[in-house]
Amino acid sequence: MNTEKTSVKTALISVSNKNGIVELGQRLVGLGVEIISTGGTAKALRNAGLQVTSVSDYTGFPEIMGGRVKTINPLVEGGILGLRDQHVREAEAHDIKWIDLVVCNLYPFAETIQKPDVTLGTALENIDIGGPTMIRSAAKNVGWVGVVVDPADYTTVLDELKSDGGLAFGTRKRLSAKAFGHTAKYDTLIHNHLKDAPLSDDFSLTFEKQTDLRYGENPHQKAAAYKAPIAAEPNVLNATIHQGKKLSYNNIMDADGALACVKEFDEPACVVVKHANPCGVAAGDDITDCFHRAFNADSMSAFGGIVALNRTCTEEIAEALRKIFIEIVLAPEFEDGALALFAKKNNLRVLEIGQFGARDPKLEYKYVDGGLLVQETDASTITSDNLSTVTKMKPSEQNSADMLFGWKVLKNVKSNGILTAKDNTTLGIGPGQVSRVDAVEIAVRKSGDSLEGAILASDAFFPFRDSIDRIAYCGLRAVIQPGGSVRDEEVIAACDEHGIAMVFTGARCFKH
């Protein structure tokens, strides 16, 4: 393996993304580098007045089959792959010129498959074959060849060639790793687009670094944010950030959870999140009223939290938030007056998500030692048709509406999760407890003296009647839960004894 500096006498340039390519060519020619190029790239360089040798002229073989075959040729691949200290005689025998630098990026497959109604044929025609072959060849022969796949690296390479007369091994190795990452991402996108089943036998993921983060969950943990290369539904990572400090790891996690919860609602809604759990949620007809009800549902927990809206953030909401400490406010858009008020709070992060609707069905991932867990997101919904009343007491119309509201929130509460709600507003939320009765205790305690006529929602069945006995004299009028316990009859009997209505959903909504 050659680890010494290598000179660059010949460069092969073939790019789909032509940003900066003319300046690159001009500076390479100025350094005495011969350029071999293909198709549109050669045309762009010639139009800039540069002397370029076409691949067809070099190989003596024309581009054929509509351009599908042009660079896959021994004169090209041999020039890239040949070891300068071992293959000189073979190269001379076959008139192979050493190619010292390969500048290449690939057909826009990702952009193509995001177009509406793209056909399989169109997608296949935008799968690059010759490009990945040249890139991988150059990246493999890192001892002798430099490879550049990112226009952001043009200046670095050019400056090093000018100042040092060649490329250092460290530079070539860094570019080689980046090149293999480029083709790996490309192949992953193709694989995921063509496979028939989302949960296929072979599972691949690819992401692009968006930014380094100050730290992870704690200051001693390094962290970074990566985004999907295919444009996704409006999300925290592609939001417009109007102001505020740089988002932290915890900020992004909590904001993502807040956005997921507020997407549960078609009507105006506000969600306040603290430490990955909703602490106040309200839905209704007016977004400003929803904000006030959601925030006041647990204003103590809301301190230092995140406020998510699914309608335009009004100036009135901004005026209220200006007086309290929160980390982030996110919404589809903001009134100008709201932005002007927020500007007086320099550290507040203001995220404009853009217009969004319900969460798109997709997969979600959790890493575990040795592998990856993959599941569909919980995009399930329940309606009154899904509810089965199992007690003598029937829920009122308002109780039923509050139970459906509460279930949407509960899907986003860490389990074991319990919440109480009334008039489309949460009263108390007991998240993430190892005992369901403890979660009930927290939710009831946080509800204060507001439980008269309220409902209680549980993300999984009650294994015993103890939770029902705990709420018997609080004023709660109805309970929604999945059902399915071997002691369902015991729990139902407890509700009947205390005059509480209970409905089963037939499905749970755990969130770990």
275 is catalytic: yes
Q: Which two tokens stand for residue 382?
A: 């329940």
Distance CA 309, CA 280 (A): 12
Beta strands (DSSP E) in 214-274 are: 223-227, 240-243, 269-274
> Minimal CA–CA distance to 307: which of 323, 297, 315, 295?
295
Distances (CA, A) of 242 to 180, 209, 290, 353: 36, 21, 23, 11
Crossing angle for the helix pair 169-194 and 130-140, to the nearest 10 degrees: 150
> Minimal CA–CA distance to 460: which of 506, 493, 427?
506
Distance CA 456, CA 496 (A): 15
> Minimal CA–CA distance to 430: which of 407, 450, 447, 455?
447
Write out the DSSP string of 405-439. Answer: HHHHHHTTSPSS-EEEEETTEEEEEE-S-SSHHHH
Q: Which of 18, 227, 242, 275 is catalytic?
A: 275
> Minimal CA–CA distance to 311: which of 329, 295, 297?
329
**Beta pairing class for 349-352 and 328-331:** parallel
Write out the DSSP string of 20-32. Answer: THHHHHHHHHHTT
Residue 40, helix vs strand vs coil? helix
Distance CA 409, CA 280 (A): 9
Distances (CA, A) of 119 to 2, 112, 113, 233: 46, 10, 8, 21
Q: Which of 18, 87, 140, 178 is catalytic?
A: 140
Q: Spell out the residues 6+ positions from residue 240 whose beta carbon is closer than 8 angstroms to its own.
A: 351, 352, 354
Distance CA 457, CA 420 (A): 6
Per 3-state DSSP, what percentage of the chain is helix, strand, and coil (rounded to 5)? 40, 20, 45
Q: What is the 3-state secondary structure (H, E, C) of 260-326?
A: HHHCCCCCCEEEEEECCEEEEEEECCCHHHHHHHHHHHCHHHHCCCEEEECCCECHHHHHHHCCCCC
140 is catalytic: yes
> Minimal CA–CA distance to 154: which of 47, 5, 28, 12?
28
Return the biggest CA–CA distance within the chain: 97
Distance CA 133, CA 111 (A): 21
Q: Which residues are catalytic?
A: 140, 275
